[in-house]
A and B are shown apart, each in its own frame.
Chain A
Amino acid sequence: MDFKLRYSQYNERSILIEWPRIIDENILKSILKFKNKIMNKYIKQKIEIIHTYSSILIIYNFTIENINDKFFELKSLFETQGGDLEIASSTWEIPVCYDEEFGVDFENFSKEKGLIKQEVVKLHSESIYTVFFIGFLPGFLYLGGLNSKLHLDRKKTPKFDVKKGAVAIGGEQTGIYPQDSPGGWHIIGQTPVELFNSLHEIPCPIQAGDKVKFKSISKPEFIELKDRVSKSKFKLKSITPNA
């Protein structure tokens, strides 16, 4: 797919590359492919890349002398073949307990949407979500693919004490809080699994391009899993790798 990209200088040592500003899987593929190519080309220079739905921000470890040279270099790199080494994609199953003890906003959410509890749980756990990128907090996954029947604007006032593992809906997105933090999304459940561990060399097993599916679990199952997680006896399950 062909996209018209916009290149601009972000600061002394960073360049922003922008795709059309929409949430789209083809854009994600184009971004991941270009990101691979850039990482491979500058492997020795310790560059850093932040990517989101429709942007790549390249942070060099030096001040950019001639910005037009850099733009030209990147544009040519984008045109070249390659980089499309299979973007490995796994599907991860994340257990979620939708019990109201954890889903503190569940009742209000169902009321606002005019749906009964079982419908919300079904709609939320039957979709397969795409991981677009990680941002906001360490290990916070930006997921695309929330059923439009579950879209609901963020709360007017954020809550100060959203619990680690909270599963929530904000606007047209759903996500999991990887740590205790303030947050403005509607909390409908909680997962006992850890999505981020700073003691691991790769702190977050799930990466951009992967898929995520939620699995509804009961409260006793939640308690049992939580116990296993705390004893490091639980590993996040990757269902069949995707083609």
Chain B
Amino acid sequence: MLKVLNPGFYTTMQDLGRLGFRAFGVPVSGVMDSYSSQFANALLGNNKFDAVLEMTMIGGTFRFMNPTQIVISGAYMRSRLNNKPIGQNCAIQIETDDVLSFGHTTKGFRTYLAIKGGFESETVFNSLSQYRPITAKGVIETNDVITYLSIDQRLQESNATVKYNDSIFNNQILEAYKGPEFGCLNLHQKEQLLNSELKVSKYNNRMAYQLEPLLKNRLEPILTAPVLPGTVQLTPQGNLIVLMRDAQTTGGYPRILQLSEESISLLSQKTVGNTLKIGLKDT
């Protein structure tokens, strides 16, 4: 069991989300940065659907009640084990009563804690991802106790090395497909969208990221239509809204772009003030 001494700023349990329930209007949810979280699970030999903890901006402090192995990946949050700095993107042996703590991020925005065999919790619609009100709990809180498999076998020296691709933190290009309503933009608007530097606004969370500046337009709302994580909507006021993992399943704003899966992960590691550019994919 893992005891939460301090959850950090905003920590949730996530897997790859609720697949197959969007027809009921249930958001897919799941890890924001699927690259880093799947990297961590893979290093432990876990299933890619295993649940991890997703920490945002400031990580938490946790006490392990049983031996296991973990991997930390994603944003760098000065991780320490029993108060000694430890590395990330590598498997770490954990003993009973070990305390793992994180601080404020120094690079990136979301850190993943993966554990051998995955965390266990309330499963709703085939997923452990926390999302209120689908799940009773929406976030990890102090004194929560999270179960995991106790592993008595100690970590073996492994020759296999897999390199974590750090470019997720420095790369500023959001790769995007043309959205269904891209063609409704005029030439000037297209140029502005594709050539300007876009900045992450303070309105960014697991549902959506707003990008600045405003893109002035006179696009009509559309008849409510399907959307996905990564869909970029343009509001009449000119806000660019990038839908993220907890987004609704349908929407009425024009869908001008669709980010690639990799770019959703990349955007998840950005925070207010970070700058980005759109790189249009040819299809």
Q: Do A and B bind each other?
A: yes
Taking Cβ atoms with an 8 Å cutoff, the residues of A that contact B are 8-12, 14, 16, 18, 21-23, 46, 48-57, 59, 61, 67, 133-140, 142, 178-179, 196, 198, 203-204
Q: Can you list 27 residue pairs at the A/B interface with Cβ under 8 Å?
A: A10-B177, A10-B228, A10-B258, A11-B260, A16-B180, A46-B20, A49-B23, A54-B223, A55-B226, A61-B19, A133-B23, A133-B250, A134-B25, A135-B226, A136-B25, A136-B224, A136-B248, A137-B248, A138-B27, A139-B24, A139-B25, A142-B224, A196-B24, A198-B124, A198-B133, A198-B135, A203-B26
Query: Known contacts A49-B23, A137-B248; can you find 11 more A-B pairs with CB under 8 A?
Result: A16-B180, A48-B20, A48-B22, A50-B226, A51-B23, A133-B250, A134-B24, A137-B25, A198-B26, A198-B124, A204-B24
CA distance A135 to B260 in the complex (A): 23
Instruction: Look across to chain A and name the residue whose beta carbon is closest to the beta carbon of B249.
Output: A135
Q: Which residues of B contact A10 (CB under 8 A)?
A: 177, 180, 228, 258
Q: Which residues of B contact A136 (CB under 8 A)?
A: 25, 224, 248-251
CA distance in complex: A142, B25 (Å)? 11
Residue pair B180, A50 in contact (C-beta under 8 Å): no
Q: Is B260 a contact partner of A12 (Cβ separation < 8 A)?
A: yes
Select one of A8, A23, A51 contacting B223, CB under 8 A.
Answer: A23
Contact A135 B258 (CB under 8 A): no
Complex A-B, nearest 4 residue pairs according to Cβ-Cβ distance, in ascending order: A135-B250, A57-B226, A50-B226, A134-B25
- The residue that A50 contacts in the complex, of B23, B222, B223, with Cβ under 8 A, is B23
Name A18's contact: one of B134, B180, B228, B230 (CB within 8 Å): B180
What chain B residues lie within 8 Å of A52 (beta carbons)?
Answer: 223-226, 250
Tell me, in angstroms, the Cα distance from A59 to B20 when the chains sit together. 10
Enumerate chain A residues within 8 angstroms of B249, measured Cβ to Cβ. Answer: 50, 135-136
B97 at the interface (CB under 8 A from A): no
B230 and A53 within 8 A (CB):
no
**A-side contacts of B25, CB under 8 Å:** 134-140, 178, 196, 204
- Whether the pair B177, A50 counts as a contact (CB closer than 8 A) is no
In the complex, the answer to whether A54 meets B225 with C-beta atoms within 8 Å is yes
Contact of A11 with B261 in the complex, beta carbons under 8 Å: yes
Kindly state the separation between the CA atoms of A57 and B229 in the bound complex, as whole angstroms: 13
Write the chain B residue with the least CB distance to A141.
B25
Q: Which residues of B have CB within 8 Å of A11?
A: 177, 228, 230, 258-261
User: Interface residues of B toward A: which range?
Assistant: 20 to 34
Cβ contact within 8 Å between A55 and B225? yes
Name which residue of chain B comes closest to A133, CB basis: B250
> Which residues of chain B have C-beta atoms less than 8 A from A56's C-beta?
226
- Is B159 on the interface with A (CB-CB < 8 A)? no
| B262 shortest CB reach to chain A, Å | 9
Residues of chain A within 8 A (CB-CB) of B226 are: 16, 50-52, 55-57, 135
| A18→B230 CA distance, assembly (Å) | 20
Q: Which of chain B's residues 196-228 have a Cβ closer than 8 Å to chain A? A: 222-226, 228
A135-B248, A136-B25, A196-B24 as given contacts; A59 in contact with B228, CB under 8 Å: yes
On whether the beta carbons of B224 and A53 are closer than 8 Å, the reply is yes
Give B196 Cβ to nearest chain A Cβ, in Å.
23
B254 to chain A, nearest CB (A): 12
CB contacts (< 8 Å) of B260 on chain A: these are: 11-12
Q: Is B9 positioned at the interface, with any CB of A under 8 Å from its CB?
A: no
**B165 beta carbon closer than 8 Å to chain A:** no
User: Bound state CA distance, A59 and B27, in angstroms?
Assistant: 14
A67 to B261 alpha-carbon distance, docked (Å): 17
Residues of B within 8 A of A142 (CB): 224, 250
Min C-beta distance of A135 to chain B, whole Å: 3
Given contacts A21-B223, A179-B133, contact A50 B250 (CB under 8 A): yes
Whether B19 contacts A198 by the Cβ 8 Å rule is no
Are A8 and B24 in contact (CB-based, < 8 A)?
no
B283, CB-defined interface residue at 8 Å: yes
* Complex CA distance for A21 and B125, rounded to whole angstroms: 32
Complex CA distance for A197 and B248, rounded to whole angstroms: 17
Identity of the chain A residue whose Cβ is nearest the Cβ of B248 in the assembled complex: A136
A198 to chain B, nearest CB (A): 5
B180 contact set on A, CB distance < 8 A: 8, 10, 16, 18
Docked-complex contact A21 and B222, CB < 8 angstroms? yes
Residue numbers in B under 8 Å from A8 (CB-CB):
180
